[in-house]
Amino acid sequence: AKQRGKAAYVRFVSGMAQPVTAHMRLGGELRRALENREFEVFYQPIMDLGTNKLVGTEALVRWNHPERGLVSPGEFVPAAERTGLIMELGRYVLREACRQTAAWLAEFGPDAPRHVAVNVSARQLHDPGFVGDVRDALGDTGLTPDHLVLELTESAVLRGNQVSRALHDLDGAGVRLALDDFGTGESSLSLLRAFPAAIVKLDKSFVDGLEFDEVDPARRDARQAVARAVIQLAGALGLEAVAEGIENEAQAEQLRALGYVYGQGYHLAMPMSAGKMTDLLTEQRRA
């Protein structure tokens, strides 16, 4: 997703006179979009692979661009990170995800998603006010910390040392931390010792081609080995493992066989607006 995002951003700015100008233009556009409330939080269900029940959601930001329609985060999150606008955007997503999840819990009780997972950029994590922002978002929306998961990438956690303090503060407050895109970094294993993670998310790149593939069995076997190592490690350390990017039943089947309980992907459910999710929860309650 990161790679695709970069490419898409280049596409977006290409055709403009100079990269610097384009960068500034996109920065200005993002600020305007924030003021015009053009950002919307979508939710992708995280499912129990055994029961096919919804257990939680991941909050994924979208940009409702007046001319371009729905723009995916790969096209603007990198720019928001560079310009620093990610701070404000991140606070908005966090607050909105907490508010919406608290509302679902109030309306649907035990049938509501039990948690919402919010993506956190390195830059947010390094801001000294971040832990305070999280506490405020929870306090103001009435969501209790056990319903919030923060998804962090290895690179975000690795850079800087005041981060460790922030992570332990959040963990102490009862917020759960997930290591996102697990297995793609260089120090996944050593990081887990120092990091109070509760969840690891097996990166989509290890789920791709996990199903039976006669064309390239060696690559399939390598992915299977990583997927198996991650679930075993999670078990040994008492962590939950979530497999992301499940696109077909054969992959889900493989993951179940390896011991995965939780999964996320287009095959299970697409990211959707809050309104769509509310419809889904209403249907499920009737069923």
**Interface with ligand C2E (CB under 6 A):** 1, 44, 60-61, 72-74, 77, 86, 90, 93, 119, 121, 180-181, 245-247, 264-266, 271
Q: Which does 246 bind (CB under 5 to 8 A by kind): ligand C2E, Ca ion, none?
A: ligand C2E
CB of 46 to Ca ion, least distance (A): 10
CA neighbours closer than 13 Å in the CB half-sphere of residue 246: 30
The region of 157-165, 189-197, 204-212, 232-240 touching Ca ion under the rule CB under 5 A is 204-212
Per-residue contact flags (x/-) with Ca ion for residues 116 to 155, judged by CB under 5 A: ---x-------------------------------x----
CA neighbours closer than 13 Å in the CB half-sphere of residue 80: 27
CB of 201 to Ca ion, least distance (A): 5
Give the ranges where the chain is alpha helix by DSSP (H): 2-13, 19-35, 77-83, 86-108, 122-125, 130-141, 154-158, 162-172, 188-194, 204-207, 217-237, 249-258, 274-286
CA neighbours closer than 13 Å in the CB half-sphere of residue 128: 0
Residue 115 pairs with which residues in a beta bridge? Answer: 56
Nearer residue to ligand C2E within complex by CB, 128 or 238:
128
Decide: 102 and 141 in contact? Cβ < 8 Å.
Answer: yes
Nearer residue to ligand C2E within complex by CB, 231 or 242:
242
CB of 178 to ligand C2E, least distance (A): 10
The residue nearest ligand C2E at its CB is: 265
Per-residue contact flags (x/-) with Ca ion for residues 99 to 118, judged by CB under 5 A: --------------------
If one asks whether residue 57 binds Ca ion (CB under 5 A), the answer comes out as: no
Per-position DSSP letters for 122-183, written without gaps between them: HHHHTSTTHHHHHHHHHHHHT--GGGEEEEEEHHHHHS-SHHHHHHHHHHHTT-EEEEEEET
Residues that bind Ca ion in the complex, under the rule CB under 5 A: 1, 119, 151, 180-181, 204, 244
